[in-house]
Amino acid sequence: MAGTVRTHRALDVVDLSEGTEVTLAGWVARSRDMGGILFVDLRDASGVIQVVVDPSELPEAEQLRMEYCVAVTGTVRPRPGGTSNPDLATGDVEVGATGLEVLSPSDPLPFMVDDRHDVDELTRLEYRYLDFRRPDMAARLRARAAATNAMRQAMASLGFLEIETPTLIASTPEGARDMLVPSRLRQGSFYALPQSPQIFKQLLMVGGVERYFQFARCYRDEDFRSDRQLEFTQLDLEGAFWDEEDVRSAVEASIVAATAAVRPEASAPGFPTLTWREAIDRYGTDKPDVRFDMELTDLSEVFEGTEFRGFGGALAEGGVVKGMNAGALGLSRSGLDGLVERAKELGAAGLAWAVAEDGGSLRSPIAKFLSEAEVAGVVESLSAETDDVLLLIAGPWRSSSEILGQLRVDLGKPKGHDELAYLWVVDFPVFEETDDGGLAPAHHPFTAPHSVEEMRTDPVNALSRAYDLVLNGTELGSGSVRIHDPAVQAQVFETLGISDDEAERRFGWFLRALRYGTPPHAGFAVGFDRLMAILVGASSIRDVIPFPKTQRGVDPLTGSPSRVEEAQLEELGLDVRPEIKAAWEAD
Ligand code: ASP
């Protein structure tokens, strides 16, 4: 056997002429015994090639099992007539083995290393290295690298400088909980892992960098309610002397590049823009999926002066009546009542359904309360045709729109991601009201308001220069024009109820930096994992993150997070609370 140095990869064999001698190396993906001759599918990172082995000449072949790592020497030849495999890039050729060496055997496998078998996700994560050998996962790793490359090139060609920022930092406010790292040298003090490089990229702007980008690992210690991870990757960028238009075009360039690298068959994406208000008004969400219509319609005018108390009451309180034509859903009475239940779960006081009938009438539990003109107004405003299901809700503008918007997604969202609908949502509010009646930044506290005056006098309604990028109903990232005037920044802290002392203590160094000739600047961060999941059609971001945590924040492969030795805690000046230790013992 000609040693283990391989001369070619599986895919290269296609281009070799008959009779070429090759040494290949890879894994036994499949081995079939056909009348004493072994047909081995040998897989390496480039693909799969059929190797034909005669065990009477190469007795080592008897030991071969699935996923053994082997080297094979042999001669390239066409497959005999009629035995080509059109599903394989190398399907017209094979290698007749003259030498075989087992480089490394494999234990029996916990699951089949192919795409034909469904494998439970926990097992896949526990044996992630075997999962990577499955063609689907291998393709996702390649797609991720291709997208990273394409975006990096797009940014570099626009003159952006790739700069790393630290991951052991002082806490940055992005609205989530920080992950903390105890300091050994300064016991009792903690580093925070960055929720984003926000403050550092702004400092780079103060430092005259003008165009910065980075693939940044960010950490947010959030409960795993949905498809989130404790650590994730952003394409983070910032620029000086530019505004939202410039940011958007740089982000679009990087998105177009990633899309072309991963989904070359997809048509070049467009990037329409909606204001936040329009998005809530028409789609009931700040991340509309615009691949399907089912838009919400304001029916308040139709019901002006209505006798129907359910709607009249809401209008009298300054609310709205909103409706949506969900189309001919063909739902039974209990199916329709199920929608009412769902709306209530979402916080609605009620939801009215109506089914359009021939002749412009409505079949609905509320039909008897509506005047002819109201029925006609609803039918016309919602362009209702026979059998269409109409959903009506009354109450405050935002919550009513959002509940209907969620029903819109429940009923209309396309299953896969064959089509890619990018969308900008702009002009978000500066602040959001918190449950305890206070204000929190809708984006983060470094976001510039459209008007400082408005922010001061009417903070609840003030709009900001923040923008989100949305893809197929998922928020792909956010950014904003930043505050570059320290007085305005101090004003925001004040509105947020952060005292001068606290602002000085937490951000004094940042406010000081702003006083040294800070250029106007703006930036953005693309959630790279989410982008990848949609581009490759994965159902979860865990499928595009090489080593993700489970929904419970655990890595089943390495067992993190794990307890540490008492001595390590001591070095850090830490102790674990007795009740927690007691719980360990009970474990
Ligand atoms: N730092 C922000 C985030 O991580 C993005 C930005 O404003 O640039 O969401």
DSSP string of 165-181, one letter each residue: --SSBS---SSSPPEEE
Q: Last residue of a domain, which of 104, 132, 164? A: 104
- Residue 288 inside a domain? The answer is no
Contact assessment for residue 266 and residue 351, using Cβ atoms and an 8 Å cutoff: no
Give a yes or no: residue 46 inside a domain. Answer: yes
Closest C-alpha to 111, from 175, 159, 64, 66: 66
| Furthest-apart CA atoms within the chain: distance in Å | 94
Range of the domain at 405: 293-412
Instruction: Look up the pTM and report it.
Output: 0.94
| Helix (H) / strand (E) containing 121 | helix 121-126
CA distances from 488 to 93, 449, 450, 505 (A): 70, 9, 12, 18
| Three-class DSSP category at 71 | strand
Cα-to-centroid distance, 48 and ligand 1 (Å): 42
Q: How many CB atoms lie within 10 A of CB 493?
A: 20
Crossing angle (nearest 10°) for helices 135-157 and 528-536: 130
Q: How far is the CA of 268 from the centre of ligand 1 (A)?
A: 26
Pocket lining: 254 vs ligand 1, CB cutoff 6 Å: no
Domain membership flag for residue 381:
yes
Which residues touch 339 (CB under 8 Å, ≥6 apart)? Answer: 331, 351, 353, 391, 407
CATH of the domain at 88: 2.40.50.140
How buried is residue 33: exposed, middle or buried, by Cβ count under 10 Å (0-12/13-18/19+)? exposed
CATH number assigned to the domain comprising residue 378: 3.30.1360.30
What is the C-alpha separation between 270 and 258, in angstroms, rounded?
A: 14
Which residue among 178, 196, 469, 475 has the greatest number of ligand 1 atoms within 8 angstroms of its CB, and so is best to mutate? Answer: 196
Residue 376 lies in a domain: yes
Ligand 1 atom index nearest CA of 482: 7
Q: Look at residue 18 and tell me if it is in a domain.
A: yes
Residue 557 lies in a domain: no
Q: Which of 211, 213, 446, 478 to mutate to test the pocket of ligand 1 (most atoms within 8 A of CB)?
A: 478
Would you say residue 249 lies in a domain? Answer: no
Q: Residues in the chain with pLDDT < 50?
A: 2-3
What are the phi and psi torsion angles at 582 (to 5°)?
A: -65, -40
239 Cα–ligand 1 center, Å? 13
- What's the confidence (pLDDT) of residue 497? 86
Domain count, the chain: 2
Cα separation of 296 and 283, whole Å? 6
Last residue of a domain, one of 389, 412, 435: 412
Nearest CA to ligand 1 atom 8: 524
Give the residue from 104, 136, 151 where a domain finishes: 104
**Tokens standing for residue 535:** 């581009």
pLDDT at residue 2, as a whole number: 44
The letter for the amino acid at 345 is E
Task: Kindly give the distance from the C-alpha atom of residue 196 to the centroid of ligand 1, in angstroms, as a whole number.
Answer: 6
Closest C-alpha residue for ligand 1 atom 7: 479
**In a domain? residue 45:** yes
The reply to whether ligand 1 has any atom less than 6 angstroms from the CB of 174 is: yes
